[in-house]
Structure 1
Amino acid sequence: MILEPDILQSYRETFEAHLAENKIDEAVISAQNISAGRVAQVLTNRDYNVIIPFLEKADQKQAGQILAHFSPEMSVEVLEQMDPKIGSTLLDDIPIDHAADIMQLMDQDEASELFSMINPNLEAMIRDLMRYESGTVGAVMNSHFTAVKKGASIADTMLAIKDAPVQIENKNYVFVVNKKGTPEGVISMKDLIRTNPKKLVDEIMTQNVVAVYTDDDALESAQLLRNRRFQMLPVLNEEDRIAGVLLLDDAIEILSENMADMFMHIGAASADESFYTPPLGSVKKRLPWMAGNVFLNLGAVAVIASFEATIEAIAALAIFLPMITDMGGNVGIQALSVSIRSIALGEVRLSEYWRAAKKEIVVGLINGLALGALFAVIAYIVQANMILGLVAGAALGINVLVAGIVGGTLPFLIKRWGGDPAMMTGPVLTTITDITGVTIYLGLSTYFLMSLVGG
């Protein structure tokens, strides 16, 4: 049966209606027609007095998958309010790396209670992931994977895949390991199916396996996986044995979170802050950056103050100041966003800032001429002063050019110097565009002061 978008939408609407009427049993039934991700999306907007009963009555496997789609912080709150016996069963159906994230955030007593109720092997795997430092690939790897010994037959390998635990999320690839557990090759399911069952895996495996280590940076490992277009990467421990795998889904999540964190930094927000951060905690994270921004903006204030006589002579100049500074900021943020995205996804090398500069010069010249001309016409119409229109248009055009170059190249330079490009570039960029815009505009106005006064 083909499920068309309108049919899927009707299923979701039915599910939401049952939840709104607090008909939990009916909601559980209707949720069977919806993906776990979509159910989680709907439940996220509901109170816990609806979420908890729903998960407790839902099929265990589906409930676990839904819980895995919640944020770790929300999952912690759900498990702490849920019957511990039911909550412990859900951990069986959560990806092992997600379970480790959840248990790491949970109150120690609550976590100990849940650990006491789950399978000892599962507890050992979760605790094993929890020992890795946050930000390393070991902390996000999945401990479930398929591997066979070198010298195994194709038939034995197919049997191993058939009997593999359900927790293995990707069975499309099998690693071939030596006696020490070190990977020496990898085989795809496609190749296994096409090969004579009597042959050995050694004959068809792809050698030179690309791997990472548990202590390697998770973001760099995710970028490697994406750039190589693999579905998974083996993660090795200090003994060169496979400890787990980095899956494509997890790599995408890491890259997405990194991009989200970087764009939060642009606004001088902290990546450590979330919806669940207490109000005083949010104040501590935000206030220092805002206070620092006050001192950065004093540069623009000082520039305006130095042109006080010009502004007093021609009060109309103040009308266009916000437009010129705001336009520079907007253009700079556009260029900044493109550069930070490229850096976050590992699409470019840090040494390519000259290439970024050349591109932004071309873009800035074209956009600056177009926007400057447009603004010159608008300024002339508003004030009926040709010189003022030309000055305002020229100032805006030059500021657009400068903002594009700064926004496009500064992230590369800051990253190369070892800093956080998003955290440092946002406040710096806005200050630079404000100062350059004001300086160019009021500087040109001062130069042409007599012509402006004369109209």
Structure 2
Amino acid sequence: MSDVRETTAEANSFRDTDGEIWPSVVERATRAIQAGDGEDLRDLVADLHEADVGSLLEALQPDDRPRLISLLGKNFDFTALTEVDDTVREEILEELSNDEVAEGVRDLDVDDAVYILEDLDHSDQAEILEKLPALERIALQRGLDYPEDSAGRRMQTDCIAVPPFWSVRQTVDYIRDTPDLPDTFYEVFIVDPAHRLLGAVPLDKLMRARWGDRIDSIATEDHQRVHATDDQENVALLMQRYNLVSVPVVDDSERLVGVMMVDDIVDVLDEEADEDLKALGGVKADEELSDSVWYTVKGRFPWLFANLLTALISASVIDTFEASIQAMVALAVLMPIVASMGGNAGTQTMTVTVRAIATRQLGRANAWRVIRREMTVGLMNGLGFALLLGTMAALWSGVPGLGVIIGLALMIVLTAAAVGGILIPLALHRLKIDPAVSSGPFVTTVTDVIGFFSFLGIATLWLSRS
């Protein structure tokens, strides 16, 4: 219990109740950096978790970040660079010498070292790797050779593998007596002489087995496995689906080359969700709060330009019904309501659909059932708002027919928005186009065009009969 209190006290001395770094901590670090006081810096970060050191780096001014690392020297844990956003990490690495980077990644887990080095120029990568011992250099180079966002880039190469003929006692003694094994592991893997994966034994099963049992007799032979070239998002979904805390990674010859751990998967799921959310908002997946104004403008401009084109299409529909709008000015007042309701309804359905596609919850097996469901939801919402807004419009304008016009238009546009919000992402996904990136402008166009056309078209018919 005392350990918990001490940990909480240390956390409270660094962060406030909202999880933000205390300004006094940042000020102290800044003063120490400007004074070149490495001793005070070491005292400040000595007991901090690497995630807290990463937060401190992000809170500092850009020029102070590499100076902090240089002042700390060997006392700086380069794992902290995996906890900062990409832009901050790249800026820091640009200011550090290749000698400093090589020394910093020397003792890191391979997956963390690869994560830090993968965005550097190939020439810098090669120079840094040349400064490392042969075994570490080979492991890092192999990780960097795997495709970006693959399991090979994320995996830990250190894992426990034993031959099938060992007994449980031999395996436990090996784990106890071998100094260079991973600090954290959940399974023991069984391999043949060619290092091909034969099975795995969870630690709880290992500790409950009899000492004399052969290790292969208690192995799970149909254990889930992934290939080093598999996309990291697919691996994350597999581990999430089967509640795995680790999964072995094999190469094309089924040889064991590493293991994916649950902490790596949490990062992957967070990254993928972050990318999808940004894409839906028309923001580049790699945009960070630390990016420059010009880089941010360049990233957002194309999306806004696409929205401009859709707005011009909507404007052309409105122009077609110019005479009707002049005949009844109230139509111009109510048009934004139709567009807004349709846009929001389309965005709701599109968001749910894109996320369901990303998590593999929506596919051919249930597509039509979900489409019918969304169409029914849109129709029911349309009916409800038609009665509500139609009544309000009739009372406000004193023209009962106007309530009927906007009521019918809302039913049409909300139903169309629901259908478009699901069909458009599904169609883009079928065409191998990322629906998170591309759905927005199409859904907006559909809802605006159908909304304006139905509202003004119905109004024109009503005026022609009046």
Instruction: Give the structure-2-normalised TM-score.
Output: 0.86
How far is 1:44 from its partner?
1.2
**Does 2:172 align with 1:158?**
yes
Inter-CA distance 186–277: structure 2 relative to 1 (3 Å threshold): same
How far is 1:93 from its partner?
4.9
How far is 1:312 from its partner?
1.0
Mapped partners of 1:445, 1:165: distance in 2: 81
Corresponding position of 1:12: 15
Inter-CA distance 203–166: structure 2 relative to 1 (3 Å threshold): same
What whole-Å deviation, never above 9, does each CA across 1:309-361 have from its counterpart, x for those lacking one? 10110112111111211121112111111111122122333442212212212
**Does 2:317 align with 1:303?**
yes
Contiguous gaps of at least 5 residues in structure 2:
33-38
Pick from 290, 294, 306 the counterpart of residue 308 of structure 2.
294
Is the CA contact (8 Å cut-off) linking 1:218 and 1:254 kept in structure 2? yes
Inter-CA distance 15–296: structure 2 relative to 1 (3 Å threshold): closer
Pick from 254, 265, 285 the counterpart of residue 251 of structure 1.
265
Segment of structure 1 superposing worse, 281-290 or 345-354: 281-290
Segment of structure 1 superposing worse, 43-52 or 313-322: 43-52
Give the residue type in structure 1 aligned to 2:341: M
How far is 1:283 from its partner?
5.7
What whole-Å deviation, never above 9, does each CA across 1:272-303 have from its counterpart, x for those lacking one? 55567676666665444444443333332222
Inter-CA distance 211–336: structure 2 relative to 1 (3 Å threshold): same
Corresponding position of 1:217: 231
The SS at the match of 1:349 is coil
What whole-Å deviation, never above 9, does each CA across 1:86-134 have from its counterpart, x for those lacking one? 5433314544223223223224454344334433322221111111122
Inter-CA distance 84–422: structure 2 relative to 1 (3 Å threshold): closer
The SS at the match of 2:201 is strand
Is the CA contact (8 Å cut-off) linking 2:160 and 2:181 kept in structure 1? no
Corresponding position of 1:131: 145
Corresponding position of 2:90: 76
Corresponding position of 2:35: none
Inter-CA distance 83–399: structure 2 relative to 1 (3 Å threshold): same
Mapped partners of 2:386, 2:452: distance in 1: 15
The two structures, once aligned, show a CA RMSD in angstroms of 3.0
Is the CA contact (8 Å cut-off) linking 1:19 and 1:50 kept in structure 2? no
How far is 1:169 from its partner?
6.0
Corresponding position of 2:112: 98
Is the CA contact (8 Å cut-off) linking 1:350 and 1:415 kept in structure 2? no
Inter-CA distance 251–412: structure 2 relative to 1 (3 Å threshold): farther
**Does 2:39 align with 1:36?**
no
Inter-CA distance 333–163: structure 2 relative to 1 (3 Å threshold): farther
Inter-CA distance 447–42: structure 2 relative to 1 (3 Å threshold): farther
Give the residue type in structure 2 aligned to 1:385: V
**Does 2:207 align with 1:202?**
no
Mapped partners of 2:327, 2:232: distance in 1: 59
Mapped partners of 1:32, 1:392: distance in 2: 66
Mapped partners of 1:403, 1:168: distance in 2: 53
The SS at the match of 1:261 is helix
Pick from 154, 169, 194 the counterpart of residue 140 of structure 1.
154
The SS at the match of 1:448 is helix
Is the CA contact (8 Å cut-off) linking 1:16 and 1:42 kept in structure 2? no
How far is 1:20 from its partner?
1.5
Mapped partners of 1:275, 1:164: distance in 2: 45
The SS at the match of 2:118 is helix
Corresponding position of 1:370: 384
The SS at the match of 2:15 is helix
Segment of structure 1 superposing worse, 185-194 or 51-60: 51-60
How far is 1:66 from its partner?
1.7
How far is 1:43 from its partner?
2.8
Is the CA contact (8 Å cut-off) linking 2:186 and 2:246 kept in structure 1? no
How far is 1:57 from its partner?
5.4
Corresponding position of 1:344: 358
Segment of structure 1 superposing worse, 152-161 or 224-233: 152-161
Give the residue type in structure 2 aligned to 1:154: V
Mapped partners of 2:99, 2:461: distance in 1: 78
How far is 1:61 from its partner?
7.4
Mapped partners of 1:109, 1:135: distance in 2: 21
Give the residue type in structure 2 aligned to 1:17: S
Contiguous gaps of at least 5 residues in structure 1:
none
Is the CA contact (8 Å cut-off) linking 1:222 and 1:251 kept in structure 2? yes
**Does 2:431 align with 1:417?**
yes
Mapped partners of 1:356, 1:60: distance in 2: 56
What whole-Å deviation, never above 9, does each CA across 1:2-35 have from its counterpart, x for those lacking one? 3497873443258541322335455654545554
Inter-CA distance 290–7: structure 2 relative to 1 (3 Å threshold): same
How far is 1:85 from its partner?
4.9
Inter-CA distance 442–167: structure 2 relative to 1 (3 Å threshold): farther
Pick from 207, 220, 231 the counterpart of residue 193 of structure 1.
207
Kindly, what percent of the aligned residue pairs are identical? 25
**Does 2:414 align with 1:400?**
yes
Segment of structure 1 superposing worse, 179-188 or 56-65: 56-65
Corresponding position of 1:263: 277
Q: How many residues align?
A: 452
How far is 1:60 from its partner?
5.4
Inter-CA distance 222–433: structure 2 relative to 1 (3 Å threshold): same
**Does 2:253 align with 1:239?**
yes
Give the residue type in structure 1 aligned to 2:456: L
Give the residue type in structure 1 aligned to 2:337: M
Give the residue type in structure 1 aligned to 2:379: L
